[in-house]
Amino acid sequence: MTSSDVWDAATAGRYDEEAAHMFAPEVLDPAVDLLARLAGDGPALEFAIGTGRVAVPLADRGVRVSGIELSAPMADQLRGKRDDVPVVVGDMATSAVPGEFSLVYVVWNSIGNLRTQAEQVACFRNAARHLGQGGRFVVELWVPGIRRLPPGQAAVPFHVGRRHVGFDTYDLVTQQGTSHHYVRQGDDGSVRYSASNFRYIWPAECDLMAQLAGLEFERRTADWSGEPFTGDSESHVSIWRKPSGPERGGGSVR
């Protein structure tokens, strides 16, 4: 039983249009470039693959990509585009995909959709389980915006535009949060509200989860292009590696 919200058919149907800015070449190309380099000649596995925003262009580069996706309607959207990107409908914390991968990755903050620490640790372990020796796990994740949350303020806006207003609310005790979206529907003034729930994780907590999964820290940058990660970075791309040879440090990777 997963703690994640399950995305419905209506949400899946409008995903590509509403996420159009994330399909822009300047956003997507650096991610696909790095992931293709890390996969090398081996296969890649995307956790929370969605409609294939990243997987499809990666497959276009000749990488064999598989996916795990919780929402059947999201997986159906991907299957409508491609039949050479196999998807298991299931939970990225627990589901298994046949094969051994040189790369497992989860992008666009999707690991936060797992809303308990135990499931997030299980997700790291599941990544390690699917990797061959020397394989890498890549996570793209935002840094929780709570530096912008002074005492007494309940919400942090992340986008304020003509068509869309979005803000996050946080529970600082449980590390739970909710993203609230208000999207204008047309010119009649009507607005559609939607919300998605997450558990926020600091980079250091990610490193500990990786360590528990038997993965070694390799690199953290602020973005896909390799900009240095600093105290002001709002997101990170982090890479951990499954050790080659006899297991060192960390816990079991079974």
Q: Can you say whether the dihedral through the CA atoms of 146, 147, 152, 153 is positive or negative?
A: negative
Toward ligand SAM, which CB reaches closer, 95 or 133?
A: 95
Toward ligand SAM, which CB reaches closer, 1 or 244?
A: 1
Selected from 114, 127, 138, 213, the binder of ligand SAM by CB under 6 A is 114
How wide is the angle at C-alpha 117 spanned by C-alphas 245 and 199, nearest 5°? 125
Q: Would you tell me how many other CB atoms lie within 10 Å of the CB of residue 204?
A: 8
Candidates 125, 58, 54, 136; CA nearest to 92 is: 125
Q: Can you say whether the dihedral through the CA atoms of 111, 113, 118, 119 is positive or negative?
A: negative
**Shortest Cβ distance from residue 27 to ligand SAM (Å)?**
10
Query: What region does 99 belong to: left with phi over 0, alpha with psi -120 to 50, or beta?
Result: left
Site mask for ligand SAM (CB under 6 A), range 41-80, x = bound = -------xxx--xx-------------xxxx--x------
Q: How many CA atoms lie within 13 Å of 127's alpha carbon, on the beta-carbon side?
A: 33
**Shortest Cβ distance from residue 7 to ligand SAM (Å)?**
4
Selected from 107, 127, 143, 213, the binder of ligand SAM by CB under 6 A is 107
Toward ligand SAM, which CB reaches closer, 69 or 223?
A: 69
Task: Enumerate binding residues for ligand SAM (CB under 6 A).
Answer: 2, 4, 7, 48-50, 53-54, 68-71, 74, 91-93, 107-108, 110, 113-114
